Amino acid sequence: MTDADRFDLNEFLPYRLNAAASRISRAFSERYREEFGISIPEWRVLVHLHHAGDVSVRDIEARVDMEKSKVSRAASRLETAGYITKGVNDTDRRLLVLRLTDKGEALVARLLPVAMEYQDEMRARLGPLAEGLEAGLSALLSDNA
């Protein structure tokens, strides 16, 4: 009998990572959909706009781990909902200038405390293990791979 014969999916690191992320994302997503009516892609765009100011679709794609088509569709939904505007960059007219509206800023002001609270709950649940988890995630997210 080899190691492979004892292989247990629930001890397999890639599976465990994915299962944990799915659970967290699902709970987070439900909360945001119920309370604010937005999806995770939309949430990411809103938060990045708040953090970085006016940006293009390409900028978001690079910074927020989303395909450009996903960014584009999220931005369109946010524009329809009145949370952002789409302008044109005068020096390079291929580029969009995504900008939060006042309504969008107000939404982000309500979103962020909920996000911080959620993160705090996660860290509380993890206790002293939080530090190790975050260090591991940093290693996986670093670019040299």
Partner DNA sequence: TTGACTTTGTTGCATGTGCAATAAATGTTT
Partner DNA sequence: AAACATTTATTGCACATGCAACAAAGTCAA
Binding stretches for DNA (CB under 7 A): 39-41, 56-59, 61, 66-76, 86, 91-96
* Residue 94 sits in the site that holds its own copies (CB under 8 A): no
* Residue 133 sits in the site that holds its own copies (CB under 8 A): yes
Look at residue 142 and give its three-state secondary structure: coil
Give the x/- contact pattern for its own copies in 33-62, rule: CB under 8 A. -----------x--xx-xx-----------
* Residue 10 sits in the site that holds its own copies (CB under 8 A): yes
Interface pick for its own copies out of 37, 65, 82, 103 (rule CB under 8 A): 65
Residue 81 binds: one of its own copies, DNA, none (C-beta under 5 to 8 A by kind)? none
> What are the residues whose beta carbons fall under 8 Å from the beta carbon of 49, sequence distance 6 or more?
55, 84, 98, 99, 100, 104, 108
* Residue 95 sits in the site that holds its own copies (CB under 8 A): no
From the list 72, 69, 93, the residue with the least C-alpha distance to 84 is 72
* Residue 130 sits in the site that holds its own copies (CB under 8 A): yes
Cα 134–Cα 8–Cα 137 angle in degrees, nearest 5: 10
How far apart are CB 85 and DNA at their closest, in Å?
Answer: 11
What are the residues facing 20 on neighbouring strands?
A: none
**Residue 36, number of CB atoms within 10 A of its CB:** 16
